Structure 1
Amino acid sequence: MKRIAFVGGGPKVLFALLELHDACSVRAVGALCIDVYDPYPPGAGRVWQTGQPEQVRLNVAASIVDAAHCDDPESFGDWVQRVAPQHARELYPPRAVVGEYLHDRFVKLRQTASFPIRHVTANVTAVLRRQCKWEVISETGSEFYDEVVLATGHGLPDGPRTDNLSGALNPDALIGDYRVLGEESILPTSRVLIRGAALTAYDAVLLLTEGRGGRWEQHTVGPWLSYCASGREPARISMGSRSNVPMDSKPERVPENILRTLDPYRERILVWGMDVRTLQAAGQQSTPREGDMRGVESGASYAGLFRVLLSCAMECATVLGIRISALELWRTALTGREEATPALQSVAEQIRRGIRINRGMDVPDARWIWGRVWSGLYPQITRAVSRVRWDPIQTRRFNKVASNLEKMAFGPPEQTALKLLALLDAGLLEQVPFKQQLDSETVLIDAVTPRPGVLEEPGGQAISPLFASLLDAGEITVRPGETGLLTDAQGSCMDARGKPSTTLTALGRPTEGPTLGHDTLNRMLHPEPHGWAQRIARQLSPQYSGELT
């Protein structure tokens, strides 16, 4: 019998097990045994815990959530209509409801799968090779396995945070557990400084206001809201970030002419990615093709991709009838700032303008255009750049541009933006450059999400003793300039010699860098869970035994 241990039990693990169930069928009976190590409810994991407050909501459309399989095709939409119909019409339902669905899918799979699945409620502290086996050491002891899958998600709780914020009320990241924001810890008279001004910080703000009994009143004209305080809120809430630029809210719908404009660029991005791989497989340095937007400047440059994206952004501007230069668009991508926006424009006005653009009440600007280009082409971008050997300087440049564009593409839902705007207008909330200068009455909250990958920074130390020991043993590798594990298309970890492991796999956030976009519930965005499941299914087949012989 083949024994497999999963380190982590969140959605990525659920999706891999669903793929395995569909691939194996009756072949796995008596041939396979699965253990899932996670102190949190399996399927939901740490991020999607079912006890979260209702104010903490999904930041992407619920339509992407799907944990169906061949024996149980129930999607999230079908499930919520049956189990929680009060949320059935919500585009962005509470995160706890999504967690209930994911956990329910895990429980149902465990009941129907052709292989046993055991949940071990424990943290894993080490994974060690013992000849042809793996020893998995956890809080409950140690066991031996034929294969291990590393799917640790938003981090391991076996050591202190490497980016800990001194003086913060919460020693751990605000992920799934928000009890530290309760009134016994943060009094109504307190002033609160939040490090971070992104999605986690928005959750914290809403829990400190709406979560304490505050209400929203709809204006008679337009989508705008006013905030009605309960008297239990902190006296003042400040969100602090380095750029002090707010995230742009998502539009409820994208104009059809923009969607049509994006379509031909999907193939162009994929062809560019194939060009890079072909050149690198041949060990060549490339030169740009004359007049060809697919050209790649050097075998490890993002220049060709940037030209394709800029061409798409320019075409979107033309379709919208907006006069804007390529230089203006590129500067916005590089700096994360809209050149036409006055430097002194308040955060509230920037949010208000973004909502007006989404609703067709104002002319789209460069940030709005880039948001639609980046989000619309993101599946093709992730495929095109996956595992390519980039020059470290190019990696830093790409990461900078990608970070800016993600703030324009993957910001909060419009309803969240409207609530933040109402709090800003009421004077209860402000966004400022972060400076850790506290007085005795200010409470510091850390709302920065742990970095993906397994290193603190490129070339730095491992974020966990578990990964440190595997790196020291040469079982896993991180390329120069990156922080995530290098794997092949089936998720198999590449060792220090550049060879794929046949028994050690990594899925999701630990691999961010060589692969992109793992903070998602989109099951179809990454092929590794499917590839891993196909490999295991093949190993269980009689033909595989013949191949080995």
Structure 2
Amino acid sequence: MTRIAFVGGGPKTLFALLELNDRCSPASAEGPVVEVFDPYPPGAGRVWQAGQPRHVRLNVAAGIVDATTDEGDGSFASWVARVEPRYGTEPYPPRAVVGRYLQERFRTLADTARFPLAHVPARVTGVARAGDQWEVASDAGTGFYDEVVLATGHGLPGEAPGPPLAGACNPDALIGDYGALGEAAVPAGSAVLIRGAALTAYDAVLLLTEGRGGQWMPIEGAGGPSLGYVPGGREPAKITMGSLGNLPMEPKPAQVPETINRCLDAYRDQVLAWGAGLAARPGGPGARCTGLFGILLACAMECARLSGAPATPLDLWRTALTGRGEPGRGTETAAEHLRLSIEVNRGHTLPGTAWVWGRVWSGLYPQLVHAVSRVRWDPAQERIFRRVARSMERMAFGPPEHTALKLLALFDAGLLEQGTFPPRPPTDTLLIDAVTPPPGVLAAPAPGGEAFSPLVAGLLSSGQVMVRAGETGLLTDTDGTCLDARGNRNESLAALGRPTEGPTLGHDTLNRTLHDEHRRWAQRIVRQRMPQHLGERS
């Protein structure tokens, strides 16, 4: 019997267990025994809590959400049509609905799994090697396991990654729990300053407006539909979002022109070939990103030509490095910036370099994730790549149009504004911290960065896991197996998802197919721990 402990019970754990179940023989006496440690309901975990307000919406199209098994259709699309039909045609349903789906999929798996599967509603406080096993300490006590999987997502409860915002209404990050933004803490008519101007800040803004009884009034115009805001009377008097760069995220277009999609298709294999070339030279010097950026720049130039964007290679490269588009963009107000971005997405205005890069980065993202996975960069090249990746995140993965229209309506109503976060916030302003924990496990790149979690700090100090210099995430093999301080596979200890961001890319996603570590992990468990199951499914 193999005992397996999962530290964290969110979607990454659910996906791994679904893969394991599909590879196990029915009614086998030699199957694993699995316990999932998480204070929150498993499947959904901390981020996707089913009890959060329904004003908080999914930021990616719901079509990527899929927790099916070999035994039948369990997709989100079929589930929502049956259980929550009013959201059946919505591309961006409430996160609470997605959370309910994930919870139900875990419960169904626990009831029907080909191995014993249990939820332990406790926080893990430590994991330590104990001979051939692992000692897992939690609020529920101590146990010994043959395999441990770290899937802690946005972090364990009670952790405080990064410097806290003194005086903020929410002592903890806004992750699935928004009770700190209630009217007792943020009264109607107050002045609110939010640290952050990205997706979590947008959630906070909508909770303080739409969530306080405000309504949206559809407006038809020559440029397409827009929204007006009708106050509910319980909103703050003014909400200000403040960030360092003061650049709004670029909203995603509802549709990408087919000419752009065909252009992207021509570059997918080139990105993969670049990555394969690096993999073929594992012992060489640190990788350079020049070749990769050459491919991306050529694709961006072709997309610019097809879309009519007046861009030169120098214009595009400057935008990639700075996150700023054409001269003048970034100097207008956030409302003006948002309005222009929506006009570009609708085809009413010629796009600029930021729009072009957004389509290239998001369109080639699956290939990029594969190509740069575990690349050992030259240190200077790594800094360039991380800088460009940060810029691209803002241009490629902003809010959907409907969210952008809501924000624009609040700007136009005078309720919302955006600026640079002040070094000394006004004393008569209520503060909200909308900066979420960064991915990885360290507050700053190794070797100087400190671990967010005592659990990870203990594993690092004992040499059980590795974070490479210049990175913040755990280094793992392709099946999620952690590498120890000497760079060797630490068999029976694995990490999945956000803790490994850095060596790998793009884990902040519900897309089950974007990464395959969870699938390879299940294959390893069957191959090493349950050889009698080989042949059931490779």
Does the TM-score normalized on the shorter chain lie above 0.5? yes
Q: For 1:177, give the aligned amino acid.
A: D
CA change 1:74–1:31 in 2 (3 A) is closer
C-alpha distance in 2, partners of 1:22/1:493? 24
Q: 2:246 matched to which residue of 1?
A: 244
C-alpha distance in 2, partners of 1:468/1:392? 24
CA change 1:344–1:160 in 2 (3 A) is closer
Deviation at 1:378, TM superposition (A): 0.3
CA change 1:344–1:543 in 2 (3 A) is closer
Give 3-state SS (helix, strand or coil) of 1:15's partner. Answer: helix
Q: What does 1:78-227 align with in structure 2 at a 5 Å threshold?
A: 78-221=78-221, 222-227=224-229
Q: 1:295 matched to which residue of 2?
A: none
Instruction: Give the one of 464, 468, 471 matched to 1:482.
Output: 471
Instruction: Give the one of 212, 232, 235 matched to 2:234.
Output: 232
CA deviation digits over 1:102-153, x for unaligned, max 9? Answer: 0100000111111011100000000011111101000011000001000000
CA change 1:25–1:167 in 2 (3 A) is same
CA change 1:144–1:351 in 2 (3 A) is same
Percent sequence identity over aligned pairs: 61
The answer to whether the 8 Å contact 1:133/1:144 transfers is: yes
TM-score, normalised to structure 1's length? 0.94
Q: What does 1:350-429 align with in structure 2 at a 5 Å threshold?
A: 350-429=337-416
CA change 1:435–1:121 in 2 (3 A) is same
The answer to whether the 8 Å contact 1:7/1:38 transfers is: yes
C-alpha distance in 1, partners of 2:267/2:212? 46
Deviation at 1:252, TM superposition (A): 0.9
C-alpha distance in 2, partners of 1:31/1:333? 50
Deviation at 1:343, TM superposition (A): 5.1
Check if 1:76 corresponds to 2:51.
no
C-alpha distance in 2, partners of 1:342/1:72? 50
**How many equivalent residue pairs?**
530
Q: 2:437 matched to which residue of 1?
A: 450
C-alpha distance in 1, partners of 2:75/2:345? 29
C-alpha distance in 2, partners of 1:415/1:476? 43
Check if 1:32 corresponds to 2:21.
no
Q: 2:482 matched to which residue of 1?
A: 493
Check if 1:524 corresponds to 2:526.
no
Q: 2:496 matched to which residue of 1?
A: 507
The answer to whether the 8 Å contact 1:40/1:46 transfers is: yes
CA deviation digits over 1:321-341, x for unaligned, max 9? Answer: 333100001101111111243
C-alpha distance in 1, partners of 2:328/2:251? 17
Deviation at 1:394, TM superposition (A): 1.8
C-alpha distance in 2, partners of 1:48/1:163? 25
Deviation at 1:6, TM superposition (A): 0.2
CA change 1:160–1:350 in 2 (3 A) is closer
Deviation at 1:436, TM superposition (A): 3.9
CA deviation digits over 1:176-203, x for unaligned, max 9? Answer: 0001111111011211000000000000
Name structure 1 gaps, 5 residues minimum.
286-298
Deviation at 1:224, TM superposition (A): 1.5
The answer to whether the 8 Å contact 1:29/1:114 transfers is: no
C-alpha distance in 2, partners of 1:339/1:464? 41
CA deviation digits over 1:473-503, x for unaligned, max 9? Answer: 1100000000000000000000011111211
Deviation at 1:274, TM superposition (A): 1.1
CA change 1:89–1:342 in 2 (3 A) is closer
Name structure 2 gaps, 5 residues minimum.
none
Give 3-state SS (helix, strand or coil) of 1:337's partner. Answer: coil
CA change 1:343–1:67 in 2 (3 A) is closer
The answer to whether the 8 Å contact 1:168/1:443 transfers is: yes
The answer to whether the 8 Å contact 1:125/1:158 transfers is: no
CA change 1:401–1:500 in 2 (3 A) is same
Give 3-state SS (helix, strand or coil) of 1:25's partner. Answer: coil
Q: 2:528 matched to which residue of 1?
A: 539
C-alpha distance in 1, partners of 2:511/2:300? 25
C-alpha distance in 1, partners of 2:227/2:463? 56
TM-score, normalised to structure 2's length? 0.96
Check if 1:346 corresponds to 2:361.
no
Q: For 1:462, give the aligned amino acid.
A: A
Instruction: Give the one of 326, 337, 340 matched to 2:324.
Output: 337
The answer to whether the 8 Å contact 1:35/1:120 transfers is: yes
The answer to whether the 8 Å contact 2:25/2:533 transfers is: no
Give 3-state SS (helix, strand or coil) of 2:128's partner. Answer: strand
CA change 1:159–1:354 in 2 (3 A) is closer
CA change 1:184–1:284 in 2 (3 A) is closer
Q: 2:428 matched to which residue of 1?
A: 441
Instruction: Give the one of 263, 266, 290 matched to 1:261.
Output: 263
Instruction: Give the one of 303, 308, 311 matched to 1:321.
Output: 308
CA deviation digits over 1:50-94, x for unaligned, max 9? Answer: 001111000000000000001132210000000000100101000
Q: Which is worse superposed, 229-238 or 21-30? A: 21-30
C-alpha distance in 2, partners of 1:183/1:243? 30
